[in-house]
């Protein structure tokens, strides 16, 4: 928890990313004082003085690796999510705002069963409430953290999820990954968006290899498609 909170500063992340690239820009800021505009006759000098815009230039010799610098300028892939969660609790975020804030839990997303009421694939009964979104995934496919966070559960889900991993993203937002064949993370571990947290499987109440992905807001499941 502490690690996640400490690493959540955007500026800090950018700084780390910049340091990690070894990219060093020499910035020249003139030390001369403010350039004062010549006051018009009869006008006080202070009325026309403007804040100087320091001229910032990179030295001609500065090496810029564009592929790396673009990563820095694009910023943290979690940026949108962190902005949302720092401004408000997950429960008050609208679907319009949350869309696109989580990353895909699989490299390729093909929905095989959406969130919400459906005919149960297990019992055949109607009125089954599907608590997550199912994505096609052959058993053994890498399952990716949808955002950075802390792993809060790795184990057997007694209500049908089979082998399950839960990642807490802070401020009431969690994602869960279910029917896994194996887990690649431990309880308490910090993960980054896109990290492989597990391999998909068909454990628990499952009729075949796939990933059951859930998004929980303050402990209640919500439609993952509103966040992806
Ligand atoms: Zn499912």
Same-domain pairing of 14 and 108:
no
- Give the Å distance between the CA of 130 and the centre of ligand 1: 6
- Give the Å distance between the CA of 132 and the centre of ligand 1: 5
Domain finish residue from 9, 37, 58: 58
204: CATH: 2.70.70.10
- Give the Å distance between the CA of 187 and the centre of ligand 1: 23
Same-domain pairing of 133 and 216:
yes
Q: What is the pLDDT along the chain (228 residues), one digit of tens a residue?
A: 333 333 344 444 433 333 333 333 334 444 444 444 454 555 544 444 455 555 555 555 555 444 443 343 357 888 888 888 877 777 788 888 899 999 999 999 999 999 999 888 888 888 789 999 999 999 999 999 999 999 999 999 999 999 999 999 999 999 999 999 999 999 999 999 999 999 999 999 999 999 999 999 999 999 999 999
- Give the Å distance between the CA of 212 and the centre of ligand 1: 4
- Give the Å distance between the CA of 69 and the centre of ligand 1: 40
**Which protein residues have their CB within 5 A of the ion that is ligand 1?**
132, 134, 212
Same-domain pairing of 45 and 133:
no
> How far is residue 88's CA from residue 216's CA, in Å, rounded to a whole number?
15
Give the bridge partners for 164, in sequence order: 155
Per-position b or e across 16-29, b if 16+ CB within 10 A of its CB: ebbeeeeeeeeeee
Please check whether residue 144 lies inside any domain of the structure: yes
Threshold 0.75, pTM exceeds = no
Please check whether residue 191 lies inside any domain of the structure: yes
pLDDT at 162 (0 to 100): 97
Please check whether residue 159 lies inside any domain of the structure: yes
Same-domain pairing of 4 and 117:
no
- Give the Å distance between the CA of 111 and the centre of ligand 1: 10
Domain finish residue from 41, 58, 75: 58
Identify the domain containing residue 170 by its residue range: 90-226
**Residue holding tokens 């209640």?**
220
Same-domain pairing of 141 and 215:
yes
Same-domain pairing of 158 and 216:
yes
Please check whether residue 216 lies inside any domain of the structure: yes
Please check whether residue 65 lies inside any domain of the structure: no
pLDDT at 21 (0 to 100): 39
pLDDT at 89 (0 to 100): 75
- Give the Å distance between the CA of 70 and the centre of ligand 1: 37
- Give the Å distance between the CA of 76 and the centre of ligand 1: 30
Please check whether residue 71 lies inside any domain of the structure: no
Number of domains in the chain: 2
Domain finish residue from 58, 76, 103: 58
Same-domain pairing of 138 and 179:
yes
Per-position b or e across 59-92, b if 16+ CB within 10 A of its CB: eeeeeeeeeeeebbeeebebebbbebbeeeebee
Same-domain pairing of 152 and 196:
yes
pLDDT at 41 (0 to 100): 54
In sequence order, what are the residues at sequence separation of 6 or more whose Cβ sits closer than 8 angstroms to the Cβ of residue 168? 149, 150, 151, 152, 174
- Give the Å distance between the CA of 98 and the centre of ligand 1: 21
Same-domain pairing of 146 and 105:
yes
Same-domain pairing of 158 and 105:
yes
Same-domain pairing of 32 and 113:
no
């Amino acid at each position: 928890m502490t690690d996640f909170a400490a690493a959540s500063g955007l500026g800090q992340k950018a700084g780390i990313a910049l340091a990690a690239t070894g990219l060093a820009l020499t910035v020249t800021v003139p030390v001369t004082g403010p350039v004062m505009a010549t006051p018009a006759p009869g006008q006080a000098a202070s009325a026309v003085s403007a804040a100087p815009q320091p001229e910032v230039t990179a030295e001609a010799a500065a090496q810029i690796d564009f592929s790396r610098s673009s990563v820095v300028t694009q910023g943290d892939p979690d940026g949108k999510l962190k902005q949302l969660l720092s401004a408000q609790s997950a429960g008050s975020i609208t679907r319009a705002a949350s869309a696109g804030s989580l990353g895909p839990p699989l490299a390729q997303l093909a929905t095989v069963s959406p969130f919400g009421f459906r005919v149960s694939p297990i019992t055949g009964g109607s009125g089954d409430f599907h608590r997550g979104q199912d994505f096609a995934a052959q058993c053994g496919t890498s399952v990716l953290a949808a955002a950075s966070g802390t792993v809060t559960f790795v184990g057997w889900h007694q209500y049908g999820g089979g082998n399950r991993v839960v990642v807490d993203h802070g401020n009431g937002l969690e994602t869960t990954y279910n029917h896994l064949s194996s887990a690649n993370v431990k309880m308490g571990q910090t993960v980054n968006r896109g990290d492989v947290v597990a391999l998909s499987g068909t454990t628990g109440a499952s009729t075949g290899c796939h990933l059951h992905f859930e998004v929980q807001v303050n402990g209640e499941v919500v439609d993952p498609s509103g966040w992806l």
